[in-house]
Amino acid sequence: MQECTVQHRVQTRIPTALGDFSLHLYLECGTGKEHMAFTFGSWGPDDPVLVRLHSECFTGDVLGSLRCDCGDQLHAALAEIARAGAGALVYLRQEGRGIGLEEKLKAYNLQDEGLDTVDANLALGHSADSRDYAPGAAIIRDLGINVVRLLTNNPAKLDGLGDHGVRVVERIPLEMPVHDHNRDYLKAKMQRMNHMIHLPPVMA
C-alpha cells in the first residue's frame, strides 16, 4: 500500500482575468498543512504539461513586496500557463524556503543589517533551504501529469521533483526584472544557491 503524502479535498472553479482556472486544495498527510494547485485547461497522460512549483511568499505574493521576485514570478507563471492553454501552478505552503513567516521576517531584519538571504537563515539556526518537494511531486502526480515542463530558475526543484519520481523534460526560465530592492537577493540566489539567473554584468 502506497504511503499517503497528500489528500485531495476539494476542487472549485475560479474565474480570473486570464480565464477560468480550477483551484484544488490538498492536505499534507501527517502535518495537515494545506497546499494548493491552480490548474488551467486539460491534458492527456503523455502530454508535457507546463508546471510552476511555487513556494508561498506572503510578502511578495500578497503584499507585492519588492524584496524578492516571488510575486512577479507567480503572476508571470499564471500568464504563461494561460497562454499555453493548459498547465498547473502548484502552491506549496513553505514560507521563507520552509522556515515560516515569523522566521522569514526575522531574516529580513538581519538582511537589513547586512547579511544576505542565505546567511540570515543560517544565523537563525535554519538551513539555507528547508523545503520538501515530496508534497509537490505527489500533487503533480495526482493531477494526472506525468511529463513536466517546469517554469523555474532553481536547480533544486528539478532535482527535488526527479528524486520523487516526476519526469521533467524541459526547464523554462522565469526571470524577473532586477532593481535596487531585489538585486542583492537575486545575486545571493545566483551565487550561493546556483539559481540560473542572468544578472547585468555590473551586478553579477
Instruction: Supply the pTM of this predicted model.
Output: 0.93
Identify the pLDDT of residue 3.
78
Active site includes 131?
yes
CA atoms within a 13 Å half-sphere pointing along the CA-CB vector of 183? 8
Q: Nearest to residue 151, comparing CAs of 200, 82, 203?
A: 82
Q: Nearest to residue 51, comparing CAs of 78, 69, 23?
A: 78
pLDDT, mean of residues 154-160: 93
pLDDT, mean of residues 84-110: 96
Identify the pLDDT of residue 201.
61
Number of other CB atoms surrounding residue 198 within 10 Å: 11
Report strand pairing: 34-40 vs 87-92: antiparallel
Residue tagged active-site, from 131, 141, 149, 184: 131
Identify the pLDDT of residue 2.
62
Q: Look at residue 123 and tell me whether its pLDDT is greater than 70.
A: yes
Q: Look at residue 200 and tell me whether its pLDDT is greater than 80.
A: no
Cell numbers for 29 = 498527510
| 51 vs 161: CA distance, rounded Å | 11
| 138 vs 154: CA distance, rounded Å | 19
Identify the pLDDT of residue 204.
44
Question: Which residue segments constitute the domains of the chain, with CATH numbers given?
Answer: 6-94+131-193 (3.40.50.10990)
Share of the chain above pLDDT 70, in %: 97
Residue tagged active-site, from 129, 167, 171, 192: 129
Active site includes 129?
yes
Quick: pLDDT tens for 3-54.
Answer: 789 999 999 999 999 999 999 999 999 899 999 999 999 999 999 999 999 9
